[in-house]
Amino acid sequence: MEPGGCEAGPAVKAVAAVLPAGGSGERLGGATPKQFCTVQGRPLVSYTVRAMERVSWISDIIVVVSPENIETMKSIIEKYGHKKVTVAEGGITRHRSIFNGLKLFSENEFSNHLLQKPEVVIIHDAVRPFVEEDILLKVVMAAKEHGAAGAIRPLVSTVIASAADGCLDHSLERAKYRASEMPQAFLFDIIYQAYQQCTDYDLDYGTECLHLALKYCKTNAKLVEGTADLWKVTYKRDLYAAESIIKDSLSQQICIITDVKEAVVQVGFLLHECLRSQIKVEAVSVSLSKGNSHLQNIFSGQCYNFVCINDKKYATEEIQQLVNMLEESNIPLLHPVVLISAHLNSLENTSFSIDLEELTRMKKFAREVKRKNILVYGLLVQCKEKRSPWRGQEQGNTAPRLANNRGIGT
Ligand SMILES: Nc1ccn([C@@H]2O[C@H](COP(=O)(O)OP(=O)(O)OP(=O)(O)O)[C@@H](O)[C@H]2O)c(=O)n1
Ligand SMILES: O=P(O)(O)OC[C@@H](O)[C@@H](O)[C@@H](O)CO
């Protein structure tokens, strides 16, 4: 799908992203460059790549890393199953790295169009992992119209200039200025020409791509208000902040595993209400997991909470299968994995006593697996509807209410 290919805004033929990741992370300290520091067991750069590859209309992602980290980056791509990613060799400065990334799209005696040249190219620091499709679409559409665009944020501190003697010379009126953040986007030809023309001084000391577009292509970038989480991981504290945001996000991901298809929407509603009261999850994002992709969710650190929904009599089979898969996979469980078996009962097909036996069995099973950092809960959803509770809203049915849910945990 092309961005803006829907009703809003102009469509853009092809969009690619260049993620500069070739720095040494001096300000963060430590031997490992910050883009390769792990957060919840996963390299920071992998979160940014994932944020980009989730956007369907970004066709190619170029990650630019220093020569000594090329193999590391390739193994990260393989381990986390990243798609659409090409690794480029970085330069001694950020601008030189970005320029090297752009060269992969330009025809020359070596590459002769290795990759399709995009109409618009996004440039986004690999150490800014919290980037959403919304801001990416905004800067791409603005770049299509203006030639260049970049995310901005209000200044937190006032900007001052010091005199030669180290004393205050003057300060800027903070309200008139903004911090330049990422993502930025450019018509490819504009930013590529700017890099081709810029001086070594620009390449070695510049920090602003928007400035190059203005200076060499007379292009005034459109400035787009960005969200607070576009910040760049620069210091150690930023890594700790990233870790807590990622943990928080993981705790809110719920993967529903069910073959009771038409149930998902309604059960998602039910569980959202139920879970909010039971485990205080503010925003629940529900995704449907098919086949063995549950493991991939855990392995790629995308989800650690699973709800197995079924309306069969014996609920534990599915949970036991998932636990067995986890045990056989030897995946290091960095978080507790929460498995909720939601057992749906309409009044006709079974008496409450059978379910209690089932839940007692579940409880015993739950105690056994808790030692492996796997928390198993049983949820009994007694549906009051006489008819199949799974007919959609369009037939005038409201989602079946939780008549009597028993969250029986470990
Ligand atoms: N030669 C360089 C320098 C920086 N970057 C990338 O540009 C982004 C933003 O730069 P910065 O935060 O300055 O990263 P570092 O240069 O690594 O940090 P420091 O200045 O603390 O060394 C980072 O993703 C970094 O990896 C790059 O691709 N090539
Ligand atoms: O200056 P640094 O090398 O720390 O990081 C690059 C930042 O300057 C840059 O990402 C934004 O200011 C937007 O241009």
In a domain, 283, yes or no: yes
Q: Are 44 and 242 in contact (CB under 8 A)?
A: yes
Query: DSSP assignment of 102-117, as one string?
Result: HHTTS--TTTSSSSPP
Average pLDDT along the chain: 81
Q: Is 90 in the pocket of ligand 1 (CB under 6 A)?
A: yes
Say yes or no: 20 and 148 in one domain.
Answer: yes
Rounded CA-CA distance 159/227 in Å is: 21
Six-digit token string for 61: 């992602």
* SS3 category, 65: strand
Q: How far is the CA of 183 from the centre of ligand 1 (A)?
A: 15
Q: How confident is the model at residue 7 (pLDDT cuts 50, 70, 90)?
A: very low
Position 401 pLDDT exceeds 80 = no
How does pLDDT run across 87-97, given as a tens digit for each residue? 999 999 999 99
| 405 lies in some domain | no
Residue 348's domain is classified under what CATH number? Answer: 3.40.50
Statement to judge: residues 216 and 353 lie in one domain: no
Domain span including residue 64: 15-236
Answer whether 97 contacts ligand 2 (Cβ < 6 A): no
Q: Is 10 among the domain residues?
A: no
Cα of 63 from ligand 1 centre, angstroms:
13
Q: Which residues does 73 contact at the CB level (< 8 Å), separation at least 6?
A: 21, 45, 63, 65, 87
- Sign of torsion over alpha carbons 287, 288, 293, 298: positive
Residue 402 lies in a domain: no
Does residue 6 carry a pLDDT above 50?
no
pLDDT per residue as tens digits for the range 169-206: 999 999 999 999 999 999 999 999 999 999 999 999 99
Cβ pair 226, 350 in contact under 8 A: no
Confidence of residue 379 (pLDDT cuts 50, 70, 90): confident
212 and 297 assigned to the same domain = no
Please compute Rg for the chain using Cα positions. 26
Decide: 278 in ligand 1 pocket, CB within 6 A: no
Is 331 among the domain residues? yes
Q: Does some domain include residue 380? A: yes
Residue-wise pLDDT for 303-359, tens only, equals 777 777 776 666 667 778 878 887 787 766 667 788 877 777 666 655 555 567 777
| Number of separate domains in the chain | 2
pLDDT at residue number 274: 62
User: Which is the closest atom of ligand 1 to the Cα of 126?
Assistant: 24
Where is pLDDT greater, at 106 or 385? 106
Say whether both 30 and 177 belong to one domain: yes
d(CA 268, CA 282): 14
pLDDT of residue 11: 75
Instruction: Answer for the pair 292, 257: CB distance below 8 angstroms, yes or no.
Output: no
Please tell me the predicted confidence (pLDDT) of residue 329. 74
Establish if 9 belongs to a structural domain.
no
In a domain, 404, yes or no: no
Summarised one tens digit per residue, pLDDT across range 31-77 is: 999 999 999 889 999 999 999 999 999 999 999 999 999 999 999 99
DSSP state of 277: H
Given ligand 2 and candidates 26, 64, 94, 233, which is best to mutate, with the most ligand atoms within 8 Å of its CB?
Answer: 94
Core vs surface per residue 255-272: b (16+ CB within 10 A) or e: bbbbebeebbebbbebbe
Do 43 and 132 share a structural domain? yes
Judgement on whether residues 212 and 280 belong to the same structural domain of the protein? no
Does 389 have pLDDT greater than 50? Answer: no
Ligand 2 site, residue 182, Cβ cutoff 6 A: yes
217 and 256 fall within a common domain? no
Q: Are residues 112 and 171 in the same domain?
A: yes
Region 128-139: mean pLDDT is 97
Q: CATH number for the domain including 134?
A: 3.90.550.10
Which segments of 166-293 are extended strands (E)?
168-171, 178-187, 222-225, 253-258, 285-288
